[in-house]
Amino acid sequence: MPKKHITQKNKTVLILGGGIGGVVVASRLRKALPREHRIVLIDQEPKHLFSPSLLWLMLGQRTHRSISRPLINLEKRGIEWIQGEVEIIDPAQHRVQVKGHDLVGDYMVIALGAKYAPEMIPGLEEAGCNFYSLAGAEALREARLNLQSGRLVVLVSGMPFKCPAAPHEAAMLLEYDCRKRQIRDAVQIDVYTPEPGPMTLAGPQNSAQIRQMLEQKGIAFHPKHQVAEIDAKQKTIHFNNGSSARYDLLAYVPPHRAPDVVRKAGLIGESGWVPVDRSTLETKYPGVFAIGDVTGIGLSVGKPLPKAGVFAHGEAEVVANNLVHAITGKGHPKEFAGHGECFLETGDGKAGLGSGNFFAEPAPAIKLRMPGRMLHFAKVAFEKYWLFRWF
């Protein structure tokens, strides 16, 4: 006879981080678990920022208010929310310290994302606008209006970085903006990246198609360029290969690294990120899970699973389902299967869509749908739905 599941009583789940993954796992757990179980979400920011929309914000098509929601709203659903920085993580004891106070859970989900570290590249922080952050995207929104001629550079400053499509989307959206403002003929646009090609994990054919999209818009693509340092006064980027590039406006993707508190907790593996079981997202510590950008999940091709909101969401669904099963015995365990998709904004009110199985063997199987207006409208609709659905 199968062993009877023993329902657990009065359990506490600590969720560190209020990004996409953290919000989804907290909401799913709260809906499925009886109120005797505590769901505690911790984040140092007062608001959840829907970061995929920062590309629209940088063009003045969105505001901070329109793409963010107060995390305190989650309390209406029975989720305990604590605003504060996670200062210490003790994964062996399921303990965290926030504002000098200890919290202990029966389970822990680490969803703290990636830390932006522009200071790792000398001169980068003062040289341009980090459009991956709210402040940087807002700064770029204003700075682009002051550019009437010259050279606009989109720079990827390190690998890996989240949302692999974003730098290429940014270049095409900024190109579209220059055309709208009737300055395109006076502005040169370049993309510099350490990658051998755009979104290479999508396969050589898809990568070539994305590069063709860029070049058809007159955007020069410079692969295999790892930035060494930037002279902000001379507005010059110096690369490890000995070359350099001048710019008049610099929009950059900052280096990414795991948050310091995660590193100090001994959770980091050889990749520099948290290793997890790629099916269950459990770390080496029983009952401690990690999801989203903070994780490092290896693929068969020797590269990591991309850091993207769609994967954080999918992983959150799996972890929430399995925790509900572990606590109540309801349902069945699930595994994260590596499926994902992302939109590719190209300007002119159009977007493409890449989707597929990143766990496929011998290589990820990704299909790229070419840009069209319907996919752009689908992305707009998804933004509205996501913010409504989870808040």
Chain segment 190-235, per-residue pLDDT in tens: 999 999 999 999 999 999 999 999 999 999 999 999 999 999 999 9
Distance CA 92, CA 102 (A): 14
pLDDT value at position 24? 98
Cβ of 51: how many Cβ atoms within 10 Å? 21
- Mean pLDDT score, 8-13: 92
In the prediction, which pLDDT does 360 show?
A: 95
CA dist., res. 232 & res. 111, Å (int): 34
The tally of CA atoms less than 13 A away on the side-chain side of residue 122 is 8
What is the pLDDT at residue 3? 55
pLDDT tens column, 310-336: 999 999 999 999 999 999 999 999 999
pLDDT-based confidence at residue 353 (cuts at 50, 70, 90)? very high
pLDDT at 145 over 80: yes
pLDDT of residue 7: 73
Q: Domain segments of the chain: what residues? A: 12-114+258-339, 118-255
Q: Tens digit of pLDDT for each residue in 279-289? A: 999 999 999 99
Neighbours of 349 (CB within 10 A): 13
In angstroms, the CA 318 to CA 325 distance is: 11
What is residue 250's three-state secondary structure? Answer: strand
Residues 6+ apart with CB under 8 A from 70: 46, 47, 48
pLDDT of residue 252: 98
Q: For the chain, what is the mean pLDDT?
A: 96
pLDDT in tens, 226-274: 999 999 999 999 999 999 999 999 999 999 999 999 999 999 999 999 9
Go through 257-285 and write b for each residue having 16 or more CB atoms within 10 A of its CB, e for each that does not.
bbbebbbebebbeeeebbbbebbbbebeb
Residue bearing the bigger pLDDT, 300 or 273: 273
Confidence of residue 29 (pLDDT cuts 50, 70, 90): very high
Domains 12-114+258-339 and 118-255 share a fold: yes
- Two tokens, residue 339: 């499926």
Question: At residue 34, does pLDDT exceed 50?
Answer: yes
In the DSSP assignment, the letter for residue 2 is P
- pLDDT in the model for residue 9: 84
- pLDDT tens, residue by residue, 44-69: 999 999 999 999 999 999 999 999 99
- What local confidence, expressed as pLDDT, does residue 4 receive? 60
In three-state secondary structure terms, 277 is coil
Domain 12-114+258-339: CATH architecture, name and number where available: 3-Layer(bba) Sandwich (3.50)
What percent of the chain is predicted at pLDDT more than 70?
A: 98
pLDDT cut 90: percent of the chain above it: 96
Task: Tell whether the model's pLDDT for residue 174 goes beyond 90.
Answer: yes
CB count within 10 Å of CB 359 equals 19
What does the pLDDT look like over 93-141, one tens digit per residue? 999 999 999 999 999 999 999 999 999 999 999 999 999 999 999 999 9
pTM of the shown model: 0.95
Q: Which pLDDT score is estimated for 5?
A: 65
Architecture of domain 118-255: 3-Layer(bba) Sandwich (3.50)
